[in-house]
Each structure stands twice: as C-alpha cells, then as structure tokens.
Amino acid sequence: MDQIMIGKFIASCRKEKKLTQAQLAEKLGITDRAVSKWETGKCLPDASLMPELCEHLGISINDLFNGRRVTMENYKEAAEAAMLQLKKNEEQKNRMLLILEIVIGTSATLSFLFMVFVASLIPGLPAFFRILILVIGFIQLAVCIYFALKIETKAGYYKCEECGNTYVPEFRDVVMAMHKGRDRKMTCPCCGKKCWHKKVMSK
C-alpha cells in the first residue's frame, strides 16, 4: 500500500467534495491533524474509520487501498495488488515485532545477570539487600519473558511440517512447548500430530 499515493487521493477526493480538512474531520469525529497526517502519507486511516471515510468521499474501500478510482477493467489487478501489499505490510509488521522480542529478551537477560553479579560479588552488602536485588532481578526477567512470549505467539504464524497448516497457537501452548530458537514442538490443530512447527511471517 502506497501511503503517499493514498494520502494524495484522499486529499483530491476531499477537494472534489468541497470539504476542508476540518469539515471532513468533524464529520468523522476526529481531529483535522489526523486528516492532515493521512493526506501527507504519514499514516493510514484506522480500519474502523474507513467505511465512513469512503462514504463521505464517495469512493469504495478498494479505491482507497489503491489510491485511485478502480474501474471494472482494472478491478481484478487492483484488488490483487492491494492484497499483495497488505500481505507485505503484515510481514513487515511481524518482522519488526520479532526484532522487538529479541531486544526485550536480550536486555532483560543482561540486566538480570548484572543484578546477580551485583548481589553476589559486591562486598559488604547486607544479606537482606542481596536477596532483594535477586528477587527484583528475577521478577523483571519473568515479566519481560512473559511479554516476549506474548509477542512470539501473536507475531506471524506457526507452520506444521506434517500438513502445511499455518495457525496462531494459544499462549499456553507456546509457553509449554519445547523450543529450538523459534521452532516449537506443538500439536497441530489441523492434523493433530505433534511435531516441530516453524515460525513464518504470513499465511
């Protein structure tokens, strides 16, 4: 999805309807800054706003995604291009999430090791204080691992090697599963076999 092109398209449709950014914003119950952000290609309208926006602009959602009016002749090609772009956006989002997971996991582990180091090697600390540092270190590690695993569950899909099914597992199953890197040994909800499932970015 080309955000700049979509932005320009929204602006030109709005002008055709003789609306200012503020008037369009008011109709949608949002700020004119949000409209300005769409039109300059900084962000896309929320999916929940799209139907109403398209109605006010007199265009279809398909037109909006393509950043131009889609005719019967180019309809199929335009729909395919929009689908492909959605898929690319999803893959990119999932890659970013998985990078975030690595950052969270690594920084939490390092700060835990640092606290263990402080608690055990710095001379002269009262025992109570050493235990407190260890407990805090352990809690922050546990919280970060929880969020990292949440991300790993929701970002992308797992693919069953047996039947090729791609799916999003339950958080519980991800936590309980054995893993090698991001591959996890889980039971496939489609074929029911227990085998190694690989992380993939899209269906």
Which residues in this chain contact Zn ion in the complex, by CB under 5 A? 160, 162-163, 165, 188, 190-191
Instruction: Name the minimum Å distance from CB 191 to Zn ion.
Output: 3
What span, in angstroms and rounded, lies between the C-alpha atoms of 173 and 150? 11
Whichever of 38 and 157 has its CB closer to Zn ion, that residue is 157
- CA dihedral over 179, 182, 185, 189, signed as positive or negative: positive
Whichever of 51 and 164 has its CB closer to Zn ion, that residue is 164
Instruction: Name the minimum Å distance from CB 68 to Zn ion.
Output: 41
Whichever of 14 and 184 has its CB closer to Zn ion, that residue is 184
Instruction: Name the minimum Å distance from CB 177 to Zn ion.
Output: 14
Whichever of 41 and 189 has its CB closer to Zn ion, that residue is 189
For tokens 């690989």, what's the residue? 198
Report the relative pairing of strands 166-167 and 178-180 from DSSP bridges.
unpaired
For tokens 């320009």, what's the residue? 8
Instruction: Name the minimum Å distance from CB 87 to Zn ion.
Output: 22
Instruction: Please answer whether residues 70 and 63 qualify as being in contact, where contact means their C-beta atoms are separated by less than 8 angstroms.
Output: yes
What span, in angstroms and rounded, lies between the C-alpha atoms of 55 and 60? 8
Residue 102: φ, ψ to 5°: -65, -40
Whichever of 142 and 190 has its CB closer to Zn ion, that residue is 190
Instruction: Name the minimum Å distance from CB 175 to Zn ion.
Output: 20
What span, in angstroms and rounded, lies between the C-alpha atoms of 78 and 70? 7
What span, in angstroms and rounded, lies between the C-alpha atoms of 75 and 73? 6
